[in-house]
A and B are shown apart, each in its own frame.
Chain A
Amino acid sequence: MSDWKSELNIPQKDTRALTKDVTATKGTDFEDFYLRRELLMGIFEAGFEKPSPVQEEAIPIALMGRDIIARAKNGTGKTAAFIIPMLEKIDTSVDSIQALILVPTRELALQTANVCKTLGKHINGLKVMSSFGGTSLKDDIMRLNDPIHVIVATPGRVLDLASRNIADFSKCPFFIMDEADKLLSREFTKTIEDLLVFFPKDRQIMLFSATFPLAVKSFMDKHLTKPYEINLMDELTLEGISQFYAFVEEKEKLHCLNTLFSKLQINQCIIFCNSANRVELLARKLTELGFSTFYLHAKMPQQDRNRVFHDFRNGNARNLVCSDLFTRGIDIQAVNVVINFDFPKTAETYLHRIGRSGRFGHRGLAIDLISWSDRFNLYKIEQELATEIRPIPPQIDKSLYVYDNPDAIPRPKFDLESSTPNSFTRNTYRSRGNDEQANPRNNQSGSNTERDKTAQNSRNTYRAQGLQPISQQVFRP
């Protein structure tokens, strides 16, 4: 064994128990895939220890160059399952776009781009760009003047870039769709197919999602070549998530939520509402009640959205009220409670929403506030998912969602050692502690002191918040 591993900056081990959603593997190690050293370094430094089941299945097949359609439960490592083989094959000495990762929402694009950067941290010269609407198109065009290897994008923006030949995909071997069921939903189909025209004939297509409410057969037949099917789900819901409902009157909802907040030990909490107005209203009410709360919905300016996404992920605020913009793919390890303030319409939305807690085989809580008009949807979704949503007990067993050692929960962390790599990533990423976050040495922007201060502030905020009497939520005791 070489000693390269001993020099790695491996984060603190997450001691939380894992469910078999992520542990039921064949026992493969990342080394078994014969990945290049730089990539392995990135993987281990991100805190990954062993491949999850979907990674174990998908990585070797993807490395063989086959088209893949894969489904695995929420938060079981799908993102890394396509990013790892993709990064393995990217040749940074070639100045061309070599992979396109499509995602349905902008926030997810941000996140996925970051996972790419984290895992590819040691790959020399790797350029990962995210591109989506709401940000300056001009800036994106300028970015594409320089070498770019990976683009993470929403379909609309990237189609614009491709059709003007600003982004050249003619030599791009990877076409990856995360949340593929949504991206193959009817309203996106045309965009996706238009986009595929710009790709070479032998591109490798990979489709990943936790849900496939409809068969995507027609797309597969048309565009995929002998796709390898990975289905690791014999049930839909995650093992680690306990689902409860509270049957309330519409006007009681806030009261109920307030009661829940006073009873639950919340690390971080995502609350879903069904309209932008309600999102804002609720966030405001909660803030007035003394809970630090951000909100996020599609009608906000993108800069605000980015900021909320980043700050919430970074743990700057404990609660986030949001719309279904945040339903798919978002990975925040510290979230242990998801509340459906309004109940969703479709089963896949419900599944993705509750999948925001209990990431990577950990435990979490999902609580649905059910009003009279929601009850049919509740039955329907229960049935479609073959799951049971139980009435909320007076006391919820802490072992269902409270982690003994919140410090060990991987926290997002940012460093700007170069413009490329950022340690800000999914499941097993371990923070090296907040203090490094503001390390001035890593900051090339020249505003060292200011950033330092900001980070310091946010950290203090976090700690102070935990001590506030208004909230019994414990993030850091």
Chain B
Amino acid sequence: MASAMDKSTRKSVQKHNKQGSTSSVPKSLSSPAVKSSSSPSNGSSTRDTFKPAMHARILQLLGRTYGKFVTATTRTGESYHGILTAAETEAALGVTLALATKLDASPDDMSIPNLIIQPEDLAFISISKPDLRSHEASASIRTDTDISRTEASLEAKFKELQPWKPDSDTPMISLEDSSPSSATKWDQFAANEKLFGVKSTYNEDFYTTKIDRTGADYKEREERAAQLAKEIESSADGGDRHIREERLGITEGEDIDEEDLYSGVKRDADPSLQTAQASSQAAKQDLPQDPAIITSKNAVPAKKDNTRIPNQDQFLKFATAERENLMQRQRAAQANHRVRNFSADIDELKQFSKSFKVPGPVPPDMVSIIQKNKAASNDNTASYQFKTGDITQKPTVPSPLHERANTRQRHSPSKSNAKPADMRPSAMVTPGMTPPVTMNSPSNQSKQSPAPLTPRAQFFGIDVTPPKCDYDFDTAFNPFLSSEEKLTNADIEPSFKVAPSWLLDSSEKTWDEMLASSQPQPNTTPMFVSNASPVMIPSAMTSPMMPGANAQAGMYYAGAPMMAPQMFNSYMMPPMQQGYYYGMPAAPQMYMVQPMTPQMQAQARHGYMGAPQMMPGQMPMNMNMNLNVNMQPGDPGMGYPAQPGMFMPPQNYNHPYANNR
């Protein structure tokens, strides 16, 4: 591992140096200076002995920290907080930080996309909570899907099955045909002997020891044995099915499933799997018998990816099941919406946007009206997505992390309809209330006290007083969510009934958890690309409500950077001007995203749009759900790349991270 690390980091450092985009720590301070702590020692024999071991340790530490936030302090005493993306380890330690910000930076300061700190400039780096646990397959053998995944075949998804064509010359027979004889008991031995002359050659002595039936005490021994046997057979079996079966000799029960008993391995110890299996079975039962499902869904091959992730097998099972589930409901939803006149919707929306007033604090008397509207919006035919009433529903779109917490309590997946109970007024635009907390992962909360949440107020750049606005913009006005709403809330929720199980695996810290533990996250709400539904307003984005929608195409992650560490290898952080903005208030640097690579475009088309839990290399849950989507940035429904300056946070905006750094 160490050498691999060396190589990759060296490469990225070089690559980096070539790019003009790289900033570097002030060269002025390049005093030859004292050696940094990790620099090679100059000669003492003890130190020489220690050197290789120490070097290996540092490599290991860096390897584990790769892609996580570190704080590096230079010799000038400046500290930078950023993501460790590369390290120079040959002679002395130098690091490259992505999205680096000065610790005492003013909120207006942009982060530095790539900050190279040369070994001679680096005083020390501090790594918080390095994860040094062994990730090797410990004393646990690889599971089946671990093995099949190494060959990584997410490809053969839903292929079209070729019907078998019966020969015309063979007579048509069926198992269910009741021949007159079938009512009677059939003796296979007699039948085979009669028809084919088959005689048995069985002798139990082939398989076990011979009982010694000689000896004077045979009778006595037999009696004793018989009594013992009787005792055992009549004793309580403790409800164990297998023990009972072994005592009674015959498997009891009418509808026993012999696969469960003798071959299959029970999975239900794992709740996420249980749910996945249950729902996949449910999906199967409900599914209309339509071959078109198969054929229409095999259009786009899934992205091949060799990245291993923890518990991938479980996750895949889960995802497969969920996909089936969602597909089915999408179809239903589409059927519901088929009759809708979309242009009317657009007009309505335009109209609405004109009349819509930028909500400052909502007057208390509005609350009741909003709730009324909400009630109306439950009626399918009535109001549309952007009505205020709907706003209250948005926060119920569960964040996976949030949802995971829920799942622990409620085991049975009550799917579908957003429950009125979830539409708490607290989620509405009401002054003085705390914003809905969806950002910290439960695990994180248990580990540390939740980071203070700075209310992310600010309504579309307009300075709203009070600055403490309780609205969770990301959730409430998230354009992606809105378009997803075409499927109704219920379409989204089940995807996160259970958090992907790999999230539960604490042995491997995900990018996300890492982020969550390092600071509050501005966005935890999953964002989906719209499905094929054209309802997403194209250029008629006149509504001031939705600046963020414009950034949709270029959006891969909002707020927190979403890249998996390994991605930094191939795409180092791009310079600012290449990125797109996503217009929600937060630190500007956090909105910088990458230019689209073909791979990413493909991901986007697959509905892979930066739901925070999904890292490149992991199969998004909604992958393959939007198989008909073949959109490019700029297509109707995809929005446009935001232009720099299209939306910027207000000057007095207080970045929530600013205090944390």
Contact = CB atoms under 8 A, between A and B. Distances in A.
Given A293-B192, A384-B313, A311 B144 contact: no
Contact of B192 (A113, A274, A294): A294
B256 A212 contact: no
B590 to A, nearest CB: 36
Interface string B167-196: 100111111100100100010110110011
A233 interface: yes
Interface string B129-157: 00000000111111111011111111011
Interface string A195-220: 00000000000000001111111001
Contacts of A378: 161
A154 B164 CA distance: 41
A400 interface: no
Interface stretch (A7-15, A33-41, A339-347): A339-347
A226 B162 CA distance: 50
B345 to A, nearest CB: 35
30 contacts: A69-B139, A135-B204, A142-B225, A143-B208, A143-B209, A143-B211, A159-B243, A164-B228, A182-B263, A186-B266, A186-B268, A187-B242, A213-B144, A213-B267, A214-B265, A220-B139, A236-B148, A258-B173, A262-B170, A292-B192, A297-B258, A298-B256, A311-B201, A314-B201, A316-B201, A325-B262, A348-B144, A386-B149, A419-B205, A424-B206
A166 interface: yes
Given A110-B207, A133-B248, A137-B229, A316 B200 contact: yes
B364 interface: no
Nearest to A111: B207
B232 A221 contact: no
A146 B198 contact: no
B208 to A, nearest CB: 5
B263 A352 contact: yes
Given A71-B141, A252-B174, A156 B246 contact: yes
Given A156-B243, A259-B170, A391-B161, A346 B199 contact: no
Contacts of A382: 156
B250 interface: yes
In the A-B complex, the 3 residue pairs with the smallest Cβ-Cβ separation, listed nearest first, are A156-B246, A133-B246, A386-B148
Given A346-B264, A376-B324, A392 B164 contact: yes
Given A248-B164, A287-B188, 12 more contacts: A135-B204, A137-B232, A143-B211, A156-B247, A160-B246, A187-B266, A190-B240, A285-B173, A317-B196, A346-B264, A386-B147, A424-B206
A181 B226 contact: no
Interface in B320-366: 320, 324
B221 interface: yes
B472 to A, nearest CB: 37
B163 A384 contact: no
B163 A376 contact: no
B249 interface: yes
A247 B164 CA distance: 5
A242 interface: no
Contacts of B268: 186
Given A281-B182, A292-B192, A317-B198, A160 B258 contact: no
Contacts of A130: 207-208
B201 A129 contact: no
Contacts of A275: 255, 258
A429 interface: no
A70 B211 CA distance: 35
A215 B143 contact: yes
Contact of B199 (A231, A256, A461): A461
A292 B256 CA distance: 27
B408 interface: no
B326 to A, nearest CB: 14
A213 B409 CA distance: 26
A392 B212 CA distance: 54
A27 interface: no
Contacts of B221: 142, 145
Contacts of A457: 197, 199
A276 B257 CA distance: 9
Contact of A348 (B151, B224, B263, B317): B263
B217 to A, nearest CB: 10
Interface stretch (A46-54, A85-93, A302-310, A403-411): A302-310
Contacts of B170: 255, 258-259, 262
A264 to B, nearest CB: 14
Interface of B: 137-145, 147-154, 156-159, 161-164, 166-167, 170-176, 179, 182, 186, 188-189, 191-192, 195-212, 221-222, 224-226, 228-229, 231-233, 240-251, 255-259, 261-270, 280, 283-284, 289, 294, 313, 316-317, 320, 324
Nearest to B224: A141
B209 A346 contact: no
A136 B162 CA distance: 50
Interface in A283-302: 283-285, 287-290, 292-295, 297-299, 301-302
Nearest to B261: A298
Contact of B259 (A105, A143, A274, A301): A274
Interface string A146-179: 1010000011110110001010000000000000
Nearest to B194: A287
B173 to A, nearest CB: 5
B195 A287 contact: yes
Contacts of A224: 139
A424 B201 CA distance: 13
A29 interface: no
A414 B361 CA distance: 90
Nearest to B199: A457
Contacts of B154: 383
A292 B140 contact: no
A224 to B, nearest CB: 7
Contacts of B167: 259
Interface in A70-129: 71, 104-105, 110, 113-114, 127-129
A113 B262 contact: no
A414 B150 CA distance: 44
A292 B196 contact: yes
Contacts of B210: 419
A380 to B, nearest CB: 6
A472 interface: no
Nearest to A370: B161
A166 B242 CA distance: 20
A221 B264 contact: no
A460 B198 CA distance: 9
A45 B27 CA distance: 79
A253 B164 CA distance: 10
Contact of A465 (B152, B157, B175, B196): B196
Given A143-B211, A211-B144, A254 B174 contact: yes
A227 B222 CA distance: 42
B624 to A, nearest CB: 11
A251 B176 contact: yes
Considering residues B172, B199, B264, which has the most beta carbons from chain A within 10 angstroms of its beta carbon?
Answer: B264
A427 interface: no
B284 A373 contact: yes
B240 A191 contact: yes
B195 A166 contact: no
Given A133-B246, A142-B211, A307 B199 contact: no
Contact of B246 (A71, A132, A281, A455): A132
A178 B250 CA distance: 23
Contacts of A259: 166-167, 170
Contact of A327 (B143, B196, B205, B262): B262
A137 B233 CA distance: 9
Considering residues A217, A376, A445, which has the most beta carbons from chain B within 10 angstroms of its beta carbon?
Answer: A376
B198 A69 contact: no
Contacts of A236: 144, 147-148
Nearest to A378: B161
A349 B263 contact: yes
Contact of B250 (A251, A301, A388, A460): A301
